[in-house]
Amino acid sequence: MFDNLCKFLAENFSSDFASWLLGERVTLTELSPSELSLEPIRADALILLQSDQVVLHLEFQTQPKSEIPFRMTDYRLRVYRRFPNKRMNQVVIYLQKTNSDLVQQNTFTLERTHHEFDIIRLWEQPTSVFLESPGLLPFAVLSQTNDRTETLRQVAQVISTIKDQRTQSNIAASTFILAGLVLNKDTIQQLLRKELMQESVTYQALIDEGRAEGRVQGRAEGRAEGIQEGIQRVAVNLLREGMSTDMIAKLTGLSVEQLEQLKISESEESQE
């Protein structure tokens, strides 16, 4: 979920990310892994953006992984094979504070091979950086701030000034999801308007998936129950992935009690 959300932000607000990470406000377009000569190691976490001169490779992580340095090296070579004349900037962005030494690791060394890439630990970044551009607003609450509630309040105020309704609702939904990493649900809901999130493509994608699941199920009870069935199936899939019930409740609108019942039902079905 966080991979897809960050990918959505990077692709739809590419100039904001370019200004932040490259120091120049250029428009970047998506570079598909299929344009490279080999299959991606893990396509769901891969964000590749490009202009005529540069390729920007982003990896967003909530938890550090030991294979990150190799993956960054591997993709640097793949991009070089395809675009030998383009420079490449690679950045691993850690979302959630951790004491793991892995979030300090920015090199890969194998015998006489040595590769370096950039690392950003959001909790060490100044909040002001993320308040300057719409596409970066959802990350502000994860930045270096002594009062995350106040920071979210500032973000909500900036969001309220965004004139394009679709952009406004998408940024609000993205902020809601990422804020869940550091703040409780009640605090977030007090500061962000629920109706804005419901208008977003993030929310709509969930509903559309629910509709699709409902059609596949062929429920005779009608469209509303079909959608509900689909949302429940999405929730079950997220539970299987290990996402917390609080976070799933935020994304699906289901109550924690409903999710606990889904857990029990899923466990009983698996034992049959």
Q: How far apart are CA 156 and CA 272, in angstroms?
A: 48
Q: What is the pLDDT of residues 165-205, one digit of tens each?
A: 888 888 888 898 889 889 887 888 888 865 455 555 555 55
**What DSSP designation does 38 have?**
S
pTM of model > 0.85: no
C-beta separation of 22 from 91 below 8 A: no
Residue 121 has pLDDT above 90, yes or no: yes
Per-residue confidence (pLDDT) for residue 19, from 0 to 100:
94
Give burial (CB, 10 Å; 0-12/13-18/19+) of 86.
middle
Q: How far apart are CA 29 and CA 47, in angstroms?
A: 11
Question: Between 245-252 and 165-179, two packed helices, what is the crossing angle to 10 degrees?
Answer: 170
Confidence of residue 236 (pLDDT cuts 50, 70, 90): confident
More confident residue, 235 or 180: 180
Spell out the residues 6+ positions from residue 227 whose beta carbon is closer than 8 angstroms to its own. Answer: 207, 210, 211, 214
